[in-house]
Amino acid sequence: MITIMQLDPWVGPDRISSWLSDVPTQLVDLSHADVPSLSALGDGLIVLGGRHNALDEVAAPWLGALKQLLIDARTAELPTLGICLGHQVAAVAFGGEVELGTAHEEGPFAVTKTAAGRTDPLFEALPDVFLTAQSHYDCVCTLPPGATALASSKLCAIQAFRSGSFVGVQFHPEASPDTMARWAMGERESSGAECVLEGERMRDLMVPRDEEIALYGRTIVRAFAQVIAMN
């Protein structure tokens, strides 16, 4: 079983659910549940993104418990995949640094693998340069001690890293064009015309590139599931 941890009601598993349809999963939504214990995670953990930042434990009171869980999961060599905020929270938990508001990537962006990324189990099947869905302002600026960068982009030098059994990705392998459009529009139920237009523009950007983005996203998620199966 793989635990999928949702940090924000606005950022769900999206296409991960269908990509892992043959694998037992459980969803833990931190807006309704506490951070689970290590023993409750099963065989692997996916930590999703969200609108909080990785440093503000007042706005996100579960951050401290999540950081400790990520440390415990790495110590136990539990395969873990962190996405966007999940990637940033782990970087801080492991001793790295995150900068707030310094790397605005919104839409489709190319990511380049490092030499280590070319041989990493989650990235080896991807081309050296691959297209991703991005939605973030913050970024990991300093790797945790002993971690290895797996990919970079022009605006964000650490697009992915590995630290033991943990792999973090700044991009959103799971995000569909509809999800990207919804994020661009914002969470207001009664959005204004300008907000709706931003959503339409985002969808228009993402749809022509989605076959490629979805292929690479699915490749990463399925490779993660394969690592778990071989554990």
Ranges of beta strands (E only) in 40-94 are 44-47, 80-83
Residue among 172, 186, 231 nearest 16 (CA): 172
User: Quick check: is 174 catalytic?
Assistant: yes
Give residue 156's domain range.
2-230
Catalytic site residue from 84, 105, 139, 198:
84
Among 105, 156, 174, 198, the one annotated catalytic: 174
- pLDDT value at residue 196: 57
The total of structural domains in the chain comes to 1
Q: CA 112 to CA 152: how far, in whole Å?
A: 5
Q: Is 84 left (phi over 0), alpha (psi -120 to 50) or beta?
A: left
pTM of the complete model: 0.95
> What string of pLDDT tens digits covers the 231 residues of the chain?
999 999 999 999 999 999 999 999 999 999 999 999 999 999 999 999 999 999 999 999 999 999 999 999 999 999 999 999 999 999 999 999 999 998 889 999 999 999 999 999 999 999 999 999 999 999 999 999 999 999 999 999 999 999 999 999 999 999 999 999 999 987 544 334 455 558 899 999 999 999 999 999 999 999 999 999 998
Query: Which CATH number goes with the domain that contains 36?
Result: 3.40.50.880
